[in-house]
Copies of this chain bind each other. A is one copy, B any other.
Amino acid sequence: MRAALLSVGTELLLGEITNTNVVYLSRELNMMGIDVMYHYTVGDNPKRLAEMIEMAFKDCDLIITTGGLGPTQDDMTKEIACQVMGDELEMRKDLLEELKKRMLAYKSHMTENNLKQAEMPKRAFVFHNDAGTAPGFALGRTVTGEEGGEKTQSIACMPGPPREMKRMFEKSLRPWLESMSDGVLYFRELRVFGIGESDLETRLLPLIDGQTDPTIATYAKSGECSVRVASKRPTREEAERAVNEMIAEVDKIIGDSIYSYDNQEIANVVGEKLKEKGLTIACAESCTGGMFASALTDIPGISACFDRGIVTYSNRAKVEELGVKQETLDAFGAVSEETALEMAKGVRRVSGTDIGISVTGIAGPDGGTPEKPVGLVYIGLDFDGQTECRKIDRRIKERNRNRQYAMLSMFDMLNRKLNDR
């Protein structure tokens, strides 16, 4: 089944609200094996709304609208849908009673314009609204297709407020749709660190090329990438099997760079491993200025592992807080392998944790030299007394990107270390 989502509301065209309904509906419909082909948004204008419904039916047999079912004058989705589908509105006594009860419960008196919410197209299949006053409905029509044969087209009209829309979808629309669906989509998203998007796609091309099912798509995130493997099959079992077989192939090519097979943030992946292994950690940050500690402490319950983080921005702080030697700073500079390692060892020593991790670098935009350009970063790790250092040298000028990449690299280095144990 090919579906179009049609959002109705001038406030969307003014950028006053973010359209989260289409995100929710797209995800749910795809999961049900319904292909969402288009999203459309139109204002509270009867002519344009009618045109858009007809236009959407040119390429789809299902339209789901959200918004415009309220009591006010500019709510007209029901009226227009009814007209386009060739039906008439009638006052429904049962809905009127329901409405009166609800208004009473709300302690708000019934106004004239409320009455129209009890009207419904005669052929409509009504969706009751547990969370608001506006009922939704589904309505079908039979038309002659290009090939001359008859085909059925359906429109389902849902309220705009996300809370009401979701409740109605779960309770009424999903069951109504399930009877018409033709297959199940299953997908997993892999998270990758250390490979750029175009490089990633080039390496996966042998798998991507000519693939129709499962499909493989790569996406760039800030400083990292993800790979989505999706399959649509008659049953969820078959779709899952197809996806997992393809992931095994992807694994052979870029397995060592995949840190999550279910779209987890790398901070979460590392945090869960620390909790699971019962390891304690402390960090010493310079250029990231607390980003690593902040990301790690975003995880509920991490206090069992994370003892402290020290942001030693000044050299004096590096000496006083971490015991970095002044000679080291004088001889090699604050941004050097030697300083990074002394920072990692220092923070582990003062906090008495299993792991000490450090970072020092030149985030930019200024402060770079020919020998030590902006983007140069050293990450130090002291794991039970075993130390190592990673050097990053990307010639990127943007401060926030350098900081972000340095922070992610700290987690990547930790993650690989934790996997080896």
Contact = CB atoms under 8 A, between A and B. Distances in A.
A351 to B, nearest CB: 7
A255 interface: no
Interface in A362-396: 364-366, 393-396
B311 A201 contact: no
A13 interface: yes
Interface in A29-48: 30, 36-43, 48
A10 interface: yes
Given A311-B290, A314-B308, A38 B41 contact: yes
B300 A399 contact: yes
Contact of A39 (B39, B104, B201, B296): B39
A107 B394 contact: yes
A307 B317 CA distance: 7
Contacts of A196: 106, 108
Contacts of A250: none
Given A14-B30, A15-B26, A321-B308, A106 B396 contact: yes
Interface stretch (A138-146, A148-156, A213-221, A238-246): A213-221
Contact of A297 (B114, B218, B289): B289
Contacts of A395: 104-107
A253 interface: no
A371 to B, nearest CB: 17
Interface in A84-104: 104
A298 to B, nearest CB: 7
Given A308-B321, A313-B308, A298 B399 contact: yes
B113 A201 contact: yes
A290 B161 CA distance: 26
Contacts of A331: none
Contacts of A397: 105
A149 to B, nearest CB: 23
Given A70-B197, A161-B220, A313 B289 contact: no
Given A105-B396, A291-B290, A292-B290, A39 B10 contact: no
A251 interface: no
A256 interface: no
Given A38-B42, A106-B396, A297 B290 contact: yes
A25 interface: yes
Contacts of A290: 285, 289-294, 297, 309, 311
A78 interface: no
Nearest to A226: B16
B19 A24 contact: no
A254 interface: no
A37 B26 contact: no
Contact of A314 (B43, B59, B307, B393): B307
Given A163-B222, A308-B310, 10 more contacts: A13-B37, A15-B28, A38-B41, A38-B52, A105-B396, A106-B196, A109-B199, A290-B292, A317-B351, A320-B350
Q: Which 6 interchain pairs have the tightest Cβ spacing?
A: A289-B297, A290-B290, A15-B26, A15-B27, A290-B293, A39-B41
21 contacts: A13-B30, A15-B36, A16-B219, A19-B22, A19-B23, A37-B43, A37-B48, A48-B59, A74-B217, A108-B198, A113-B198, A113-B201, A113-B202, A290-B294, A290-B309, A293-B294, A297-B403, A307-B313, A308-B310, A308-B312, A309-B310
Interface of A: 7, 10-20, 22-28, 30, 36-43, 48, 52, 55, 59, 70-74, 104-109, 111-114, 131, 161, 163, 187, 189, 196-199, 201-202, 208, 217-220, 222, 228, 230, 285, 287-294, 296-298, 300-301, 303, 306-314, 316-317, 320-321, 350-351, 364-366, 393-400, 403
